[in-house]
Amino acid sequence: MEVTDSLNFGHKDRKDIYEYIESHGTVREDEVRRALNFEPVALGTHLTILRRDGYIRKVGKHVEVAYAPGEEETFELDDLDVTIRMAQDVDLESLVDAIHEVADEGRYIEGETVADVLDHEEVVLRHNEVRSRMVFVATVEDELAGWVHLDLPEAEKLSHTAVLTVGTRPEFRGHGIGSKLLERGVDWAREHGFEKLYNSVPATNEGAIEFLEDHGWETEAVREDHYKINGEYVDEVMMAVRLR
């Protein structure tokens, strides 16, 4: 299942089961049964139908949302072998740490918000009737080097747009990893019918602004004094790129 697929369960109980699994990540079947107060036979029937319809998959005694795994790509960038793939729940701790590491430089407020949401929800990918998200990560020898995150609104009037954040940990910069991550995020959004992407950064983050401009993004608006960083007011630069 893609995070852009429409959701149609045909039964309230199956909707409740999917929403519980979607919001908790990989969970044991007996946990689902206890949490939602299902009889074992009834739960088994609903899980079978949800698996048949491609919404969930079984992993041992656990169940999880059956997101399509996506293509895994490996690049040789300078002296590094870099793999870019769809993030998984096992990446959660490393992903949050990486985003916080970049955000703590004080130059990426939107990234800090993403990290806080991930840390609070304890689930990497989301797909529900309110909002969905896709995350790709770059790894070097199994160490998480960077990420690209797409926040995908489900509201019909905003469903053609998405908010993208991207970052690379300091020790992995200068090899083109950020460019590959940005390319992966933009390509995915274009392939899934999105028309426009946004990314907001403080005006003091000149490197990020230049990076996005070098990849075809433009400044769409500036909100004066939107951030307060270390006691100083800083403008927000709202960047955007059209995909069609």
Nearest CA-CA partner of 65 in 149, 163, 133, 145: 133
* pLDDT value for 156: 61
* pLDDT value for 104: 78
**Among the four given CATH numbers 3.40.630.30, 3.90.1150.10, 2.60.40.10, 3.40.190.10, the one describing domain 73-242:** 3.40.630.30
Q: Which residues contact 175 (CB under 8 A, 6 or more apart)?
A: 77, 78, 80, 82
Q: Which residues contact 87 (CB under 8 A, 6 or more apart)?
A: 95, 124, 125, 135, 136, 137, 147
pTM: 0.92
Instruction: Judge whether 161 and 186 are in contact, CB under 8 Å.
Output: no
Q: Which CATH class is domain 3-65?
A: mainly alpha
The torsion of the CA quartet 134, 240, 175, 192, rounded to 10 degrees, works out to 30
Beta strands at 62-65 and 27-28: parallel, antiparallel or unpaired: antiparallel
Which single residue is written with the structure tokens 């739960």?
43
Distance, in Å, from the CA atom of 137 to the CA atom of 88, rounded to the nearest integer, reads 9
For 2-39, the three-class secondary structure string (H helix, E strand, C coil) is CCCCCCCCCCHHHHHHHHHHHHHCCEEHHHHHHHHCCC
Locate the domains of the chain by residue range.
3-65, 73-242
Between the two ends of the chain, the Cα-to-Cα distance in Å is 25
* pLDDT value for 158: 58
Question: How far is CA 51 from each of CA 14, 74, 149, rounded to the nearest angstrom?
Answer: 11, 31, 27
Burial state string for 180-203 with b = 16 or more CB within 10 A and e = fewer than 16? bbbbbbbebbeebebeebbbbbbb
Q: Which residues contact 168 (CB under 8 A, 6 or more apart)?
A: 102, 138, 145, 146, 177, 178, 181
Which residues in the chain land under pLDDT 50? none
φ/ψ of residue 197, rounded to 5 = -120, 145
Distance, in Å, from the CA atom of 16 to the CA atom of 153, rounded to the nearest integer, reads 21
Handedness of CA 31, 34, 40, 46 (dihedral sign): negative
Handedness of CA 137, 71, 121, 34 (dihedral sign): negative
